[in-house]
Amino acid sequence: MATWHEKAAALKPDGRAFIGGERVWAKSEQQFENLSPIDGRKLGMVARCDSVDVDIAVAAARAAFEDGRWSGKSPAQRKRVLIKFADLMQNYGQELALLETLDMGKPIKYSQAVDVGGAANCIRWYGEAIDKIYDEIAPTPANSLALITREPVGVVAAIVPWNYPMLMASWKIAPALAAGNSVVLKPSEKSPLTALRLAEIALEAGVPPGVFNVLPGYGAEAGAALALHMDVDCIGFTGSTRVGKQIMQMAGQSNLKRAWTELGGKSANIVCADCPDLDAAVEAAIGSIFFNQGESCNAPSRLFVEASIKDRFIEKALAKVPDYAPGDPLDSNTVMGAIVDATQLKTVMGYIESGHVDGARLLAGGKQVRTETGGYYVEPTVFDQVNSSMTIAREEIFGPVLSVLSFTDVQDAVRQANDTPYGLHAAVWTADLSKAIQTSRALRAGTVHVNQYDGDDITVPFGGYKQSGNGRDKSLHAFDKYTELKTTWIQVG
């Protein structure tokens, strides 16, 4: 059987856009190079789409929406196509996983299990859900009937980041397509390959041409053109808080399209002295910050440990850190891969430097490694003696860097945990049920974990308080983003 390296050598990724059911280059014929963070190898050229291509793709999406080739299909018909789409994704699973790993550097075993598995599950789940949702009749007086129905919003633009390219795309396109919308997806310029392949697979499954379009390109070009477009009805954005703010402004500046944002995080993980299982807490603290090279929006990057158990906790944690040494992402045993590109590597190394300058104490890692590969790898890094005013405790690093802070009582922990502009995830570890509930209520975050950090399921909403965004991905609540509520009054008698 061919190794992952042999399969990678044989792969010829297609970087053309996907508009109206066809692979096309940008009208300008501009392209950009796609380099793999694993070893710096050139994977190919990608279409550099701009506002001209956005106009064409939005027109294709609009035409498809208006003529009802998808929006007019019954929920049961859309369900059948989406389930086939999910099945095909799994049939092409090895190819999709390989593209994801080559494009953004994550270990192949996670590309297969988490990214392909999670994305296919997401498409299937929304497909299965759509013919089981009923509309409402309001309790109005007997001489009238008021129907409250949900309708697709129309043309949805989805703009997604590079950390889970296929998964983040699926969280948008699955509910949007299931509800009957047409979609124009812009993947990150750092990881466009799986999104482009998904569009082909959707077509093969029976999603009609024009209903699902993918435009690779830069944020300031293709992304901004979508956010400013007068004929896009809704934008689903996942990315940084900085760009999320621009998206909201562009929506307001143009046609007031509905703008939904899933943004950055600086999640707090609070371990109290009465933690019921210290080993599980250590495993979760270390495993969750170093998973996906620390490039996860909900990574618990601030670890608060109660002062009385801190030394013991740190000793146990440091014993686990070597398990996350970066390795070859195409080796099935590797658990930590490459940082997505040279720019992100520089950002992460800059934060490590700022930790030193601010006086935090480096306990593990801190260096770039595997430079001989030509790729971008950073050791799993732990800083102790961090305080809430340091840059590494305030800003999202989006790399394998853990900041350890301490607290004296749980009120102090909550105050420090909430002292951030973000509000994505948080966790508390305690054996005291009342303390767990009071702390979960006091933490200003979209998701709070109690005595675990890995709770994750398509059935639950995902999103943030404060500057971590608005609206929710996943679960049936995601339909709120991609549908309009219509009230229809009918005179009776």
The closest of 390, 197, 401, 227 to 299, measured between CA atoms, is: 401
262 is catalytic: yes
The one segment of 1-9, 84-92, 159-167, 322-330 that binds ligand NAD by CB under 6 A: 159-167
Is the CB of residue 158 less than 8 Å from the CB of residue 236? yes
- The one among 220, 307, 431, 485 contacting ligand NAD by CB under 6 A: 220
Figure out which of the listed residues 127, 223, 355, 380 binds ligand NAD, where binding follows CB under 6 A: 223
The answer to whether 188 contacts ligand NAD (rule: CB under 6 A) is yes
CA distances from 114 to 96, 101, 168, 291 (A): 12, 12, 12, 11
Residue 8 or 397: which CB sits closer to ligand NAD?
A: 397
Q: Does residue number 396 form part of the binding site for ligand NAD (CB under 6 A)?
A: yes
447 touching ligand NAD, by CB under 6 A: no
User: Are β-strands 258-262 and 469-470 bridged in parallel, bridged antiparallel, or unpaired?
Assistant: antiparallel
Residue ranges of alpha helices (H) inside 291-341 are 310-320
Tell me if 236 contacts ligand NAD by CB under 6 A: no
Q: How far is the CB of 433 from ligand NAD (least distance, A)?
A: 29
Q: Are 380 and 325 in contact (CB under 8 A)?
A: yes
Contacts to ligand NAD from residues 463-482, by CB under 6 A: 464, 468-469
In whole angstroms, the minimum distance from the beta carbon of 382 to ligand NAD comes to: 20
Return the residue matching tokens 């477009």: 229
Tokens of 91: 């049939």
- Quote the CA–CA distance of 389 and 366 in Å, as a whole number: 20
Q: Give the angle 317-321-323 at the CA atoms, nearest 5°.
A: 125
Q: Residue 470: is it exposed, middle or buried by C-beta count within 10 angstroms (0-12/13-18/19+)?
A: middle
For 268, phi and psi rounded to 5 degrees?
-100, 135
Q: Which of 71, 182, 246, 334 binds ligand NAD (CB under 6 A)?
A: 246
Q: Which two tokens stand for residue 190?
A: 């750092």
C-alpha of 403 from chain center: 22
**Please, which residue, 180 or 423, has the CB nearer to ligand NAD?**
423
Asked if 219 is part of the footprint of ligand NAD (rule: CB under 6 A), the reply reads yes
C-alpha span between 294 and 382 (Å, rounded) = 12
Does residue number 227 form part of the binding site for ligand NAD (CB under 6 A)?
Answer: yes
Please give the Cα distance from 435 to 352 (Å, whole number): 34
d(CA 418, CA 184) in angstroms, rounded, equals: 36
Instruction: Measure the CA–CA gap between 204 and 376, rounded to whole angstroms.
Output: 36
Among 265, 294, 337, 366, binds ligand NAD (CB under 6 A): 265
One of 15, 216, 264, 329 touching ligand NAD (CB under 6 A): 264
| Sole binder of ligand NAD in the list 168, 275, 382, 478 (CB under 6 A) | 168
**Cα distances (Å, whole numbers) of residue 458 to 369, 450, 476:** 35, 19, 9
Does position 216 interact with ligand NAD (CB under 6 A)? The reply is no
189 scored as a contact of ligand NAD (CB under 6 A): yes
What is the 3-class SS of 127-167, one letter each residue?
Answer: HHHHCCCCCEECCCCCCEEEEEEEEECCEEEEECCCCCHHH
Cα atoms in the 13 Å half-sphere on the side-chain side of 61: 32
161 belongs to the binding site for ligand NAD (CB under 6 A): yes
Residue 379 among the catalytic residues: no
Q: Which candidate in 122, 234, 275, 297 is catalytic?
A: 297
Based on the shown chain and the rule CB under 6 A, indicate whether residue 21 belongs to the binding site for ligand NAD: no
What count of Cα atoms within 13 Å lies in the side-chain half-sphere of residue 409? Answer: 2
Site stretch for ligand NAD (CB under 6 A), options 15-23, 215-223, 353-361, 479-487: 215-223
Q: Shortest distance, CB of residue 193 to ligand NAD, whole angstroms? A: 14
Near ligand NAD in 279-318, by CB under 6 A: 297
Segment near ligand NAD (CB under 6 A); pick from 42-50, 98-106, 256-264, 403-411: 256-264
Smallest distance from the beta carbon of 346 to ligand NAD, in angstroms?
13
| Residue that the structure tokens 């005595």 belong to | 451
CB nearer to ligand NAD: pick between 161 and 329: 161
> Which residue from 97, 153, 196, 263 is in contact with ligand NAD, where contact means CB under 6 A?
263
Q: Does the footprint of ligand NAD cover residue 127 (CB under 6 A)?
A: no
Part in contact with ligand NAD (CB under 6 A); list of ranges 22-30, 78-86, 143-151, 223-231: 223-231
With contact defined as beta carbons under 8 Å apart, do 301 and 397 qualify?
Answer: yes
**Active-site residue (options: 189, 200, 262, 396):** 262
Query: Could you say whether residue 431 binds ligand NAD (CB under 6 A)?
Result: no
In the chain, the amino acid numbered 115 is D
Tell me the number of residues near ligand NAD by CB under 6 A.
31
- What is Dmax (Cα atoms) for the chain? 81
Binding of ligand NAD at residue 243 (CB under 6 A)? yes
Of the two residues 180 and 187, which places its CB atom closer to ligand NAD in the complex? 187
Catalytically annotated residues? 262, 297
Provide the binding-site residues for ligand NAD, judged by CB under 6 A.
159-163, 168, 186, 188-189, 219-220, 223-224, 227, 238-240, 243, 246, 262-265, 297, 396, 398, 424, 462, 464, 468-469
